Amino acid sequence: MLADLRELVLCESFSADLAAVARSADTVAAQGTRMLGSRPETIVIDGVAHLKWAFGVPRVLVLGHHDTVWPIGTLTTHPWSVTGGVARGPGVFDMKSGLVQAFHALAALPSLDGVTLLVTGDEELGSPTSRPLIEDCARGLAAAFVLEASADGGALKTARKGVSRYELVVHGKAAHAGLEPELGVNAGIELAHQVIAIAGLAEGATTITPTLLSAGTSPNTVPAAARIRVDVRVPDQAAQDRVDERMRGLTPRLPGARLELIGGPNRPPLEPASSAGLFELACEIAADLGIGPLTGTAVGGGSDGNFTAGIGCPTLDGLGAVGGGAHADHEHVVVAEMPGRSALVRELISAVLAGRRPGSRP
C-alpha cells in the first residue's frame, strides 16, 4: 500500500493544471488496472480527466478524486516521506491514501459485480465538470461510499453542510470625489450596507461569511462598482433554500444603486438520515474486524458525497485515510490505519451487495 501511495503522491495533480491532472489520471488508471484487472473509462469534460470502472449492473458506488490543492513543485518543499509510521507529501491525506485504500479493498473482493468506482479530477474546485457524472453514477444505487479522508481521530463523516456560493455586484455611478461627489452613487457605501445585511442572515447552524471584496478604480473617484463574495454553509435543505431566497431578496439602500446577484447553491447538504443506516452497519462490521469502535461526526466542509446524498443515494463519507492536515503544511497519514480502513470498505461493499442490513449479522 505504501508503494502505491508513493506512486500517486509523486505524480502531482494540482486541480488548476489540466496537464498535471491528465498525467495523474494516467497514473491512477494504471494503478487501478493493475489492481482490478480492468482498464477504466477515461472521461474528459472541458479538459478535466475523470476515471470510471463499472462492473455489471451498478448497485454500489465507490467515490474519490485524484486532484489536489497543491501547486506543481510542492514536492520540493513537502517531499514524500515515511517517518515514525507517518506518511507525508502533497495530497497524501486528501485524498490519495483514500484511492489506494479503495483499490486494495476492491481487489480483495471475490467479485466486483455490481460495483462502480468513480475517480474525479476537479473535486477541489467544487466539481464543476464532474457533478452530473457523479449524480448519474449514484442515481438509484443502494449505497455510495466516499473515500475522502476521515475527520479527527478517524471519525467517519455522517453529515456535511451544504454549500452555497454567491457574488454580489453593486452598480453605482462614478463622479469626481473632490469636485462633485454628490453627483455619484457610491458603490462602496452601498456594499457596506449589503455586507452587514448579508452577515445578518446567519442563524442557528447556518454560517454566512462575506469573504473577498473590492470597490472603486482610483482614490479620487466615487466607486461606480463594488463586489463581495459570500460563503454559505447550511445544515439542511430547508436552510439552503431559505438563505437563497433571502439573498435574492436583497434590495439597495442608496438611491440609484443597483444589485446583481451571481451564483447560488453549489452542494446540497449530506443530512444525517442519508448516512444513518450505513454508519450503523459500518459500526457492526468494524466490531467484527476488531477495529472499532467507530465514531461519526458532522463537518462543515463539502465533498462529492453531498451530491450523491442530494439525489437520494444513501451515503457514508470519510472512509479514507486517518491522519490530518488537509490543505495544510502538516498534511499526513497514519500508515498503520490504512489496512484496517481498507478492510472496512471491503466488508461494507460486500455487505451491501449481499443485502445485509444493520442488526442482521450474516
| Residues classed as catalytic | 67, 123
What CA–CA distances, in Å, run from 36 to 18, 40, 163, 187? Answer: 26, 10, 34, 58
What CA–CA distances, in Å, run from 88 to 74, 147, 148, 307? Answer: 12, 18, 16, 29
Closest among 5, 15, 27, 3 to 72, alpha carbons compared: 15
d(CA 360, CA 362): 6
293 preceded by a cis bond (ω within 30 of 0):
yes
Helix and strand counts by DSSP (H, E) for the chain: 9, 16
d(CA 245, CA 233): 15
Closest among 93, 123, 73 to 5, alpha carbons compared: 93
**Three-state DSSP state, 298:** strand
d(CA 333, CA 87): 5
Place of cell 463594488: 226
| Beta bridge mates, 83 | 86
d(CA 125, CA 269): 17
d(CA 89, CA 99): 15
The answer to whether 26 and 129 have CB atoms below 8 angstroms apart is no
Tell me which DSSP letter residue 13 carries: -
Dihedral over alpha carbons 271, 277, 280, 282 (to 10 degrees): -90
d(CA 234, CA 247): 14
C-alpha cell belonging to residue 192: 457596506
